[in-house]
């Protein structure tokens, strides 16, 4: 299918213009998904489905230098290539920095495919029976009114071809599950292979414990600055989300983020000198692992922040040219992103050090914050009071402060939560109970 589309592309002409350079990335996948809504599994609102999909992304450089970018559905690839190319030409634009198509290079060999998940994606769902039973047993406890969730497995193949002779292919799988108790607190897992039954049971038990604690009211502290322990889910959603938003090449080049172009490579730190942020997409079977990007940039280990100093932004081909540097690998999932800093505290030590403060399990409004300044005011609808070596009852409130000031503070500590890839962060900021 891809080869036929490229044959059409190579002979296509519009407005006396031909395609001078091109890059096309095609992917095909099949997926099984099974949902549960309000305790009902496989019903009309959460059915068992097995589906297939096919699509492609393209970059076209026309003979007059204009650029076309877009996506293609299966029908356009297989039957309607001429119409798709005519439309691409009609919406072409001028952007000299996008005139980049890669040729062959060296690429790592990363294990991305699991046979068990491939069978699941093909419809063999027996492996889910025991897990559904375990969730139902947990949710039968009196403190849990209802539960919802999902399981999914997919197998995909990809191929990338360019006019410069690059021709790459490969297969990968993806598995994930998520469970929400009482319609509010949830947890899950995602990788290219299934977690073990023991890992599943342990994570589910931790979710049940947190949900049980949330079902009991806590004694709210007085409003003010206090120890706040951010759960790893909050660190990924808010802290890392804000950092990568400001490391995005387009924002750096255009001066739209907190980090300025001249700060990259400077000896002056922008946060504590023991803070590192790095990417390792070469770890086998992680959700964020890969061999090459959709543009053909090889996967590699890299630092974005090292010893508190900015090393490089996240750069695709276009913004690497504008920035004046080489393109970088890009993060695609948090399980290959590493936030490192001072020696990590064990979870119970983190609770004790944060005594009198709050464990924040989730926040609302992270995407609405002013990422370019670091100022934040976030609703924390799911939080627990901290009075000793374990969380206490439920609290609700708002946390506020400035993220970049917190990342420079000597009060910052990393806390290792059991079973989590990303550490929690112990900070001091304002909490206003509701």
Distance CA 288, CA 301 (A): 12
> Do residue 96 and residue 165 come from a single domain?
yes
* Of 178, 212, 246, the domain-final residue: 212
Predicted confidence at residue 7, as pLDDT, reads: 95
Give the number of C-alpha atoms closer than 13 A to the C-alpha of residue 339, restricted to the C-beta side: 25
- Residues 24-48 have a mean pLDDT of 91
pLDDT class for 241, splitting at 50, 70, 90? very high
- Residues 262-279 have a mean pLDDT of 97
* Of 212, 238, 270, the domain-final residue: 212
Give burial (CB, 10 Å; 0-12/13-18/19+) of 246.
buried
> Do residue 185 and residue 206 come from a single domain?
yes
> Do residue 78 and residue 41 come from a single domain?
yes
- Residues 54-80 have a mean pLDDT of 95
pLDDT class for 43, splitting at 50, 70, 90? confident
> Do residue 131 and residue 117 come from a single domain?
yes
> Do residue 222 and residue 144 come from a single domain?
no
Predicted confidence at residue 26, as pLDDT, reads: 97
> Do residue 245 and residue 365 come from a single domain?
yes
> Do residue 168 and residue 289 come from a single domain?
no
Whether pLDDT at 44 is above 80: no
**pLDDT tens readout for residues 134-171:** 999 999 999 999 999 999 999 999 999 999 999 999 99
Q: How far, CA to CA in Å, does 352 sit from each of 347, 399, 423, 426?
A: 9, 20, 16, 11
Q: Which two tokens stand for residue 376?
A: 């934040």
Q: Which two tokens stand for residue 345?
A: 């505290």
Predicted confidence at residue 79, as pLDDT, reads: 87
> Do residue 197 and residue 279 come from a single domain?
no
> Do residue 335 and residue 197 come from a single domain?
no
**Strands annotated E in 123-275:** 147-162, 167-181, 185-191, 224-230
Would you say 148 and 38 are in contact if contact means Cβ atoms under 8 Å apart? yes
pLDDT class for 390, splitting at 50, 70, 90? confident
Phi/psi of residue 77, nearest 5 degrees: -65, -40
> Do residue 253 and residue 301 come from a single domain?
yes
Distance CA 59, CA 56 (A): 10
| Number of domains the chain contains | 2
> Do residue 13 and residue 66 come from a single domain?
yes
Range of the domain at 29: 2-212
- Residues 342-361 have a mean pLDDT of 96
* CATH number of the domain where residue 65 is located: 3.30.2290.10
Predicted confidence at residue 91, as pLDDT, reads: 96
Whether pLDDT at 260 is above 90: yes
**pLDDT tens readout for residues 98-148:** 999 999 999 999 999 999 999 999 999 999 999 999 999 999 999 999 999
* Of 179, 195, 212, the domain-final residue: 212
> Do residue 185 and residue 237 come from a single domain?
no
């Amino acid at each position: 299918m891809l080869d036929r589309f490229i044959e059409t592309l190579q002979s296509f002409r519009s407005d006396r213009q031909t395609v001078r350079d091109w890059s096309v990335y095609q992917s095909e996948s099949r997926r099984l998904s099974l949902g549960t809504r309000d305790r009902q599994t496989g019903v009309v609102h959460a059915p068992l489905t097995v589906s297939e999909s096919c699509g492609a992304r393209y970059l076209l450089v026309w003979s007059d230098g204009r650029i076309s970018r877009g996506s293609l559905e299966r029908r356009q690839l297989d039957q309607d290539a001429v119409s798709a190319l005519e439309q691409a030409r009609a919406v072409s634009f001028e952007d000299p920095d996008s005139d980049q198509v890669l040729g062959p290079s060296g690429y790592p060999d990363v294990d991305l495919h699991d046979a068990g998940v491939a069978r699941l994606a093909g419809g063999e769902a027996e492996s889910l029976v025991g897990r559904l039973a375990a969730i139902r047993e947990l949710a039968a406890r009196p403190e849990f009114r209802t539960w919802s969730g999902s399981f999914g497995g997919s197998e995909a193949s990809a191929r990338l071809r360019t006019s410069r002779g690059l021709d790459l292919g490969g297969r990968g799988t993806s598995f994930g599950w998520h469970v929400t108790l009482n319609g509010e607190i949830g947890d899950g897992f995602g990788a290219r292979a299934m977690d073990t039954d023991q890992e599943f049971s342990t994570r589910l038990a931790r979710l049940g414990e947190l949900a049980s604690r949330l079902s009991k009211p806590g004694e709210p502290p007085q409003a003010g600055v206090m120890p706040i322990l951010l759960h790893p889910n909050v660190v990924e959603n808010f802290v890392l989300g804000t950092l990568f938003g400001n490391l995005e090449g387009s924002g750096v080049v255009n001066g739209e983020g907190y980090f300025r172009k001249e700060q990259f490579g400077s000896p002056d730190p922008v946060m504590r000198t023991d803070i590192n942020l790095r990417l390792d997409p070469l770890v086998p079977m992680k959700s964020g692992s890969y061999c090459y990007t959709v543009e053909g940039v090889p996967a590699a280990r890299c630092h974005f922040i090292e010893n508190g100093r900015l090393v490089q932004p996240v750069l695709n081909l276009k913004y690497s040219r504008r920035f004046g540097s080489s393109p970088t690998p890009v993060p695609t999932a948090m399980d290959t992103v590493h936030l490192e800093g001072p020696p990590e505290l064990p979870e119970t030590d983190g609770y004790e050090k944060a005594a009198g403060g709050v464990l924040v399990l989730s926040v609302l409004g992270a995407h609405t914050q002013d990422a370019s300044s670091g100022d934040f005011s976030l609703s924390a609808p799911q939080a627990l009071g901290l009075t000793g070596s374990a969380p206490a009852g439920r609290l609700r409130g708002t946390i506020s402060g400035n993220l970049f000031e917190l990342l420079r503070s000597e009060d910052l500590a990393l806390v290792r939560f059991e079973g989590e890839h990303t550490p929690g962060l112990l900070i001091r900021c304002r909490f206003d109970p509701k």
